[in-house]
């Protein structure tokens, strides 16, 4: 059966699957229910499924939550139907999966990567927000699939099912990578360091969404990846009674606010795009106590590693100066990091030739540079470094609000088209 | 028995009682366990005890927590030994107690007021912090008696016990007021509006602590009360992907940080002391999402109501401007308020003459102006307005760190002396 | 003739004299024309007039302008009618005068001090501003007598004339001190260090103005003097093309703006009034060049020297941190300083008894605490330190706008009353 | 004679000429001496020279200085040897020149544009700064040729001389445009609106400098022009005595500093480069007066007009909010503006083919995108709009410090090569 027909036949199931994932969003390193569901299905389809410490270099993980938080997430996942044995096997901070199916000794190793984690966003209850309207809004407090990873898992499983059920005549090996902790670019490095793509010849990453103009388009590469680093900064001051002895304070909130304004004011770099975002700021314990602590969660980005390094250096200088201004101490810790990703232009051109004839996309541009960061870069760069080829594709969708916004939503038809595209690419290279 | 001898005899019990209160600190409007313990003891001593809605004008309460929070606090209090019937009776936001004992129809009504709530401070675990060292550190997360209200309750009960056990020859009526929610100046107004001091002839408030110089001193008045207002400000912006579409953001954190810096920079007032404290600032949901919300909890203070009004007006202007700068909307809500308090100087002079001969204090100054705010002002002002007399006394103690600091601690000997002072004053006026 | 009658007779001349001074305002250390006019008149009245280096300890002067600026001011003064010989004698930075008249060897040395310099304010041209309306608005660019020193000189000369013309029966010595550079508290220290009040028994300072409520009142002391320090801070960064290489900048303007906001946000002190004013901020050379320099002119104040020291220490810390945040270097230089001043309360009480019977003032309060700073403090403190007595008096006047405002103006009737008061005081003590 | 030989022969004169221009830098609209010298030489060479109102649409000029400033500049220019008749003819704000030489009725009209104004930068006196070392450092206070316009004039005159002295066999018309006020992008629009390039077929702009890597390179186009807008913002507050009545202030400096920090923190745009530079900030009149005025001179830039518009809109919102925060009024005025420039790629390719064979440049890249803004864009866009072709070339030079820096300097050999390049291009198209 053609991929198109297959997807048409299974469309309701794929939509249900996506909505199920959407209802149970799990933040980075806590994807127990999602990963268990994914693994279960892959096993049922006949894949060799490796997970947990088998596919992670534990020391390369970044930005892990506390064990308490992980424990609670494991319990909740099991409450919500995750297979306890799989959850147990993943254990603390090991929610990674690699599924393999070998067709022949000759032929290429072709890998696809999907990510599984959700965002720290409270999903909108607005009546025009489809998940709220139809009833598959997030069941989890302060968590939402606001970046489309629910569809990524669904597309990965759709691809897995198509290949498993149409494997006659295929050569080589397919490798399906389900990565934890893409948000915060914390998870890919540990999988790459564990060697999971060291044997890969062709590597494909993909992301849904981006913006309205790209609706129903399929871009064969993204040259616009930004290198990024995720940092936490904590200021420690001294708290005093705000009315009775204000002069004794070492005001960590003033240090923090001064840092935020100056961080956001770091000069642009002439050699390419740069970004600063202080995404979270928490300071103070009580209204009438001068604040003795301030916590900043921030990220830098740069079109190149050099530009990102410039941002980091300025960040450190600013935080140090802000602390000193208010007689505070401080510490800075790294929570995640990824380089800019490389693309094999020839592979992207081939993809363009493979996808265009499908006739399901309005346009199939060679490139779309979205300006985001993605630790898929680790996979791409490792494969290219070892002589393979790699690209990262963009599946445009008419999103209702920017990524990470409480109103974010994609068009499910685009997700279905995505499965067709992935199935077609896989079949092409495995034939 | 003299008050001094009585306190000497009961010293271990009073110290134990204070440490028990210290271990179970309860923030404003959540003093279920504390209040239940206080009420239980007062009833046992033979007082007429009114509590809950009997002694509170419910509409005059300010800054109530949510019902969920209150419910959880009630459950915890019962877990920790509070009498379920009393907790039930207090119900949502009604943790106020007035205990009365009448000796004769003639003679004055003499009232004493103690407050019961704790601070939002995480108590230090440092080995030189006595509560940590000896083992009566706070059992409650993020709550601490860092302002000595544990000793206030103990002193109120010590006074209650002395009077109840030495009532022969007393005239008039004693009224013991145990107030909730002094922190944030949220509770006194509702008790005063309920009329609890409308029949009072002599009103006494008191606070322990202040600073090292005042150690073992007893000041007979505090003319330095500051008027204060507690405000919450919330900024609402729009969140976008920090890498992919930063220009779409309406950055509430920048609005908040700009507000904080400018609020703390409000010009001093030439006519007397003013204070601004933004005590809590929380903004943002995730590192790679531009922050769409910022919450500020702040307080203004002024030596006079006019100065406090100046601070409030400037505060509102600054918050509005900061919101507009970043295309954010905002709202400001009042969480608490108290005027500056008045003092009957002649009563304070009398107290000086009563206390000095006791010989237990290093010094007995007429006045100590601490620069704090106290909603005891409502009690003082109401009594004076209705023709009575009132003062607010300061029981100096060599505190280890400023009030509201994680290392705050008082000297328990000073607390014992405080009971002697209160017992002596009560006996003097009830004879 | 009584002082009242004398002033009545000479009123038009005194008003003309004040308006002449008003038209030619001269900033600190540049009072060449003013001082020459003053000296000329004093000499004509028969006083022994010492000026320049005779009455200044040159090393104790603070905040001198550059020689170029002084040279230009000298030339202008001569153009505007100053005696060239006197201007020459004063030379660079020596515009100080002490006039003495001795009546007998016995009797006290009674000293009066007036200041001569103007403010860096552009005088209003508004039609309701009397100097503009009548035509004696400042002829000098960016300079204005917006603090009443024009009337101080006039009152000093009025007193000088009355005493010189009514010296029969006087004992002791009168000493009239005309001080340069009161603005910025830069001049008094050098006169005091030169010993000009070392022989003084009774020292009187006085200021006109303050606020409407004080109109036509005479306060016999000012206990509200604030200690103050005047600092210049300069940030040095690195300038780059704002479009082509912004990342190379070390942005001194950002350092400066960050410093200003944080300086103005220094916490109030619980022990008394404090003040911070960054009065001048200049940064940058061109619109498309990133700013490599920022200059701040600021002042700290405190009710006590300790509070002022707290402000200075915080100031230095903030400037250092702000510089470091932006990889800038910085220097801080002191431009002026004065302690808080002391008052001989008994002398102030005597003055009250001397002035009240005159019947020319609405009220004669013992004290008015204006909240300003005055280097007259050096004179007061030195005289008191050496066993004499001193006070600083406030001559209330219904000012039209705050001191240092472009619309500042006093009521000339109050100035005339001021001469009566000074003449009466002098005569009282010299009799 | 070949251009190369011609330049070799005249090299000392061209170097002298450049150093003369360098010594007398004149800011925008004040280029009286420079323009008079240029016009004088062009007239002597036989060109038809139009200047002043003939070549300027007066209403399209932007950012003119005051008449006083222009008058002083005219006087100075005449003092420094400018022809009084020419200076007079240029008059107020009309320092523009167009020189034309027609060879035949057929053949193209080929135009070259040079700019003449200097920067508001104080030139370095450092011993390693060649102009200081050799002795041709700026004679003018606060003005410096820190962007190479001295060499642009020299190259324009070198080209003029070569063509005038080698006109045999030339066809068509050469047009040499000497533009005032490029800094601040204020002058080109008025020349274009006067129609000076309406008949032009081929338009060439050029700039020297940029960065070390580009040393001795010649780039045939610059596609990286940024659209830009120059704005002045003024905040008006209310000044009060900083010690005596600080609460009466409406602090314009706080409004300004808050604006600066927030302006520099405007979020980057995802669709391309953006820039903000507040280049000048001046606030306050005196140290002890609260500042009642703040002036900001700033510029926005964007890779596209849309991005620049985004920057302008955010700028206006921030300034308004900052003013409101401090009860200040404000006004914003436009001082200059230019769109992004267009390039005729085919013309740039032709130039590459013309220049490469000269063998005098290390490299001759098709494009160098410097990230600056240039109102030469008006010339380029007008010519292309009317059917002609245009390019803007970059003459790389190993600059010693970034453009607009006090240490900026170019290599004079590069300037000489520039004349060779221009002469070669002109000859090519006029043959």
Length of chain A: 431
Give mean pLDDT, residues C384-403. 94
- What pLDDT sits at residue B18? 98
Return d(Cα C351, Cα C353) in angstroms, integer. 5
Return d(Cα A333, Cα A345) in angstroms, integer. 36
Closest residue in B to C264 (Cα–Cα): B265
Averaged pLDDT score across all residues of chain B: 96
H-type alpha helices, B284-411: 305-325, 345-355, 376-385
Query: Does D276 contact chain B (CB < 8 Å)?
Result: no
Closest residue in B to A264 (Cα–Cα): B254
Question: Could you tell me which chains touch chain A, where touching means 3 or more CB pairs under 8 A?
Answer: B, C, D
- What pLDDT sits at residue C222? 93
Return d(Cα C168, Cα C237) in angstroms, integer. 67
User: Closest approach of chain B CAs to the CA of C359, in angstroms?
Assistant: 29
pLDDT at B371 over 80: no
Q: Name the residue among D261, D262, D268 with its Cβ closest to that of A268.
A: D268
Is A268 within 8 Å of D273 when comparing Cβ atoms?
A: yes
Is C265 within 8 Å of B261 when comparing Cβ atoms?
A: yes
pLDDT-derived band of residue C166, with 50, 70 and 90 as boundaries? very high
Closest residue in B to D245 (Cα–Cα): B270
Query: What does DSSP say about strands C218-219 and C389-396: parallel, antiparallel, or unpaired?
Result: antiparallel
ipTM for the predicted complex comes to 0.79
Query: Does C261 contact chain A (CB < 8 Å)?
Result: yes
Q: Name the residue among C120, C288, C301 with its Cβ closest to that of D404.
A: C288
DSSP assignment, residue D28?
A: T
Burial class of residue A68 in the structure, from the number of CB atoms within 10 Å of its CB (0-12 exposed, 13-18 middle, 19+ buried): exposed
Closest residue in B to D271 (Cα–Cα): B245
Q: Name the residue among C258, C268, C320 with its Cβ closest to that of A262.
A: C258
Interface of C with B in 79-98 (CB under 8 A): none
Q: Choose the mutation target among C402, C406, C408 for the interface with D, i.e. most D CBs under 10 Å.
A: C402
- What pLDDT sits at residue B214? 86
pLDDT at C211 over 80: no
- What pLDDT sits at residue D372? 79
- What pLDDT sits at residue B425? 98
- Residues of chain D in contact with residue B328, where contact means CB-CB under 8 angstroms, are none
Query: Does A265 contact chain C (CB < 8 Å)?
Result: yes
Averaged pLDDT score across all residues of chain D: 96
Query: Does C260 contact chain D (CB < 8 Å)?
Result: yes
pLDDT at A213 over 90: no
Give mean pLDDT, residues A383-396. 97
pLDDT at B212 over 80: no
Q: Name the residue among A265, A270, A371 with its Cβ closest to that of D264.
A: A265
- Residues of chain C in contact with residue D294, where contact means CB-CB under 8 angstroms, are 281
pLDDT-derived band of residue B54, with 50, 70 and 90 as boundaries? very high
- What pLDDT sits at residue A47? 98
Return d(Cα D380, Cα D347) in angstroms, integer. 12
User: Closest approach of chain A CAs to the CA of B247, in angstroms?
Assistant: 11
Return d(Cα A373, Cα A389) in angstroms, integer. 20
pLDDT at D211 over 80: no
Q: Name the residue among B284, B297, B372 with its Cβ closest to that of A281.
A: B284
Question: Could you tell me which chains touch chain D, where touching means 3 or more CB pairs under 8 A?
Answer: A, B, C
User: Closest approach of chain C CAs to the CA of A367, in angstroms?
Assistant: 27
- What pLDDT sits at residue C404? 86
- What pLDDT sits at residue A107? 95
Interface of C with D in 277-336 (CB under 8 A): 277-292, 294, 297-299, 301, 335
pLDDT-derived band of residue B404, with 50, 70 and 90 as boundaries? confident
Residue D165, SS3 per DSSP: helix
Interface of A with B in 399-418 (CB under 8 A): 402-406
Q: For residues A179 and A188, is the Cβ–Cβ distance under 8 A?
A: yes
The residue that leads in pLDDT, B130 or B405, is B130
Query: Does D249 contact chain B (CB < 8 Å)?
Result: yes
pLDDT-derived band of residue D210, with 50, 70 and 90 as boundaries? confident
Q: Name the residue among A244, A262, A324 with its Cβ closest to that of C254.
A: A262
Q: For residues A182 and A117, is the Cβ–Cβ distance under 8 A?
A: yes
pLDDT at D394 over 90: yes
Query: Does B69 contact chain C (CB < 8 Å)?
Result: no
Is B278 within 8 Å of A264 when comparing Cβ atoms?
A: no
Return d(Cα D319, Cα D331) in angstroms, integer. 9
pLDDT, tens only, C51-89: 999 999 999 999 999 999 999 999 999 999 999 999 999
Query: Does B210 contact chain A (CB < 8 Å)?
Result: yes
Closest residue in A to C250 (Cα–Cα): A267
User: Closest approach of chain D CAs to the CA of A266, in angstroms?
Assistant: 7
Closest residue in B to A143 (Cα–Cα): B285
Q: For residues A32 and A81, is the Cβ–Cβ distance under 8 A?
A: no
Query: Does C273 contact chain B (CB < 8 Å)?
Result: yes
Cα C236 from chain centroid (whole Å): 32
Please give the biggest Cα pair distance in chain A.
Answer: 82
Q: Name the residue among C265, C267, C325 with its Cβ closest to that of A321.
A: C325
pLDDT-derived band of residue A320, with 50, 70 and 90 as boundaries? very high
A195: left (phi over 0), alpha (psi -120 to 50) or beta: left
- What pLDDT sits at residue B293? 97
pLDDT, tens only, D36-55: 999 999 999 999 999 999 99
Alpha-carbon torsion angle B47, B51, B57, B63, nearest 10: 130
Is D372 within 8 Å of C298 when comparing Cβ atoms?
A: no
- What pLDDT sits at residue C198? 98
pLDDT at A155 over 80: yes
Interface of B with A in 107-136 (CB under 8 A): 119-122
Query: Does D275 contact chain C (CB < 8 Å)?
Result: yes
**Where is average pLDDT lowest: A360-374, B329-343, C256-270, D291-305?**
A360-374
- What pLDDT sits at residue D174? 98
Give mean pLDDT, residues D56-61. 96
pLDDT, tens only, B7-16: 999 999 999 9
- What pLDDT sits at residue D277? 97
Query: Does C207 contact chain D (CB < 8 Å)?
Result: no
Helix (H) and strand (E) counts in chain B: 12, 11
Dihedral sign for Cα atoms in the order D313, D315, D316, D317: positive
Return d(Cα C66, Cα C64) in angstroms, integer. 7
pLDDT at D243 over 90: no
Return d(Cα C136, Cα C144) in angstroms, integer. 11
**Strand runs labelled E in D57-105:** 97-102
pLDDT, tens only, D330-342: 999 999 999 999 9
pLDDT at A21 over 80: yes
Closest residue in C to D147 (Cα–Cα): C241
Radius of gyration of chain C (CA): 22
Q: Give kind and range of the element (H or E) at residue A336.
A: strand A329-338
pLDDT, tens only, C332-381: 999 999 999 999 999 999 999 999 999 999 999 999 987 778 999 999 99
Q: Name the residue among B119, B372, B406 with its Cβ closest to that of A243.
A: B372
pLDDT at A371 over 80: no
pLDDT at D288 over 90: no
Q: Which pTM value belongs to this model?
A: 0.83
pLDDT at D373 over 90: no
Number of Cβ pairs < 8 A linking chain A and chain B: 226
pLDDT-derived band of residue C256, with 50, 70 and 90 as boundaries? very high
Alpha-carbon torsion angle A355, A358, A362, A364, nearest 10: 10
Query: What does DSSP say about strands C389-396 and C202-209: parallel, antiparallel, or unpaired?
Result: parallel
Q: Name the residue among A184, A239, A246 with its Cβ closest to that of B275.
A: A246
Query: What does DSSP say about strands D97-102 and D48-51: parallel, antiparallel, or unpaired?
Result: antiparallel
- What pLDDT sits at residue A289? 87
DSSP assignment, residue C230?
A: E
pLDDT, tens only, B73-97: 999 999 999 999 999 999 999 999 9
Is C258 within 8 Å of A258 when comparing Cβ atoms?
A: yes
pLDDT-derived band of residue A100, with 50, 70 and 90 as boundaries? very high
Q: Choose the mutation target among B239, B274, B276, B321 for the interface with D, i.e. most D CBs under 10 Å.
A: B321
Give mean pLDDT, residues A168-196. 97
Alpha carbon distances (Å) from B418 to B4, B152, B370, B397: 10, 9, 18, 10
User: Closest approach of chain C CAs to the CA of B184, in angstroms?
Assistant: 19
């Amino acid at each position: 059966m053609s991929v198109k027909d297959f997807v048409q036949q299974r469309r309701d199931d794929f939509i249900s699957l996506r909505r199920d994932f959407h209802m149970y969003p799990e933040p980075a390193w806590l994807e127990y229910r999602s990963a268990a569901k994914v693994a279960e299905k892959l096993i049922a389809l006949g894949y060799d499924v490796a997970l947990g410490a088998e596919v992670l270099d534990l020391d390369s993980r970044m930005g892990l939550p506390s064990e308490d938080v992980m424990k609670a997430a494991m319990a909740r996942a099991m409450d919500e139907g995750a297979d306890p044995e799989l959850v147990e096997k993943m254990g603390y901070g090991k929610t990674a999966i690699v599924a393999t199916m070998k067709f022949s000794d000759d032929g290429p190793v072709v890998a696809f990567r999907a990510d599984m984690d959700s965002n720290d966003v409270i999903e909108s209850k607005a009546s025009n927000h489809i998940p709220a309207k139809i009833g598959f809004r997030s069941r989890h407090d302060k968590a939402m699939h606001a970046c489309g990873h629910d569809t990524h898992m669904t597309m990965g499983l759709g691809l897995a099912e198509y290949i498993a059920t149409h494997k006659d005549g295929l050569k080589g090996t397919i490798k399906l990578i389900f990565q934890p902790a893409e948000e915060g670019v914390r998870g890919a490095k540990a999988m790459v360091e564990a060697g999971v793509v060291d044997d890969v010849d062709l590597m494909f990453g993909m992301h849904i969404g981006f913006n309205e103009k790209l609706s129903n388009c399929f871009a064969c590469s993204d040259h616009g990846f930004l290198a990024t680093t995720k940092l936490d900064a904590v200021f420690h001051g001294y708290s005093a009674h705000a009315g009775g002895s204000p002069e004794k304070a070492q005001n960590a909130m003033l240090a923090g606010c001064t840092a935020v304004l100056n961080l956001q004011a770091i000069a642009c770099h002439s050699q390419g795009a740069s970004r600063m975002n202080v995404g979270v700021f928490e300071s103070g314990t009580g209204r009438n106590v001068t604040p003795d602590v301030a916590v900043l969660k921030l990220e830098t980005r740069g079109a190149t590693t050099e530009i990102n390094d410039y941002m980091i250096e300025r960040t450190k200088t600013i935080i140090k100066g802000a602390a000193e201004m208010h007689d505070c101490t401080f510490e800075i810790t790294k929570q995640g990091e990824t380089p800019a990703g490389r693309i094999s232009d020839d592979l992207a051109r081939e993809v363009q030739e493979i996808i265009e004839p499908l006739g399901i996309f309005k346009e199939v541009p060679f490139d779309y540079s979205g300006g985001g960061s993605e630790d898929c870069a680790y996979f791409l760069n490792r494969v290219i470094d070892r002589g393979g080829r790699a690209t990262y594709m963009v599946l445009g969708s008419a999103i209702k609000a920017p990524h990470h916004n409480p109103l974010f939503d994609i068009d499910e038809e685009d997700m279905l088209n995505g499965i067709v595209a992935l199935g077609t690419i896989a079949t092409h290279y495995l034939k």
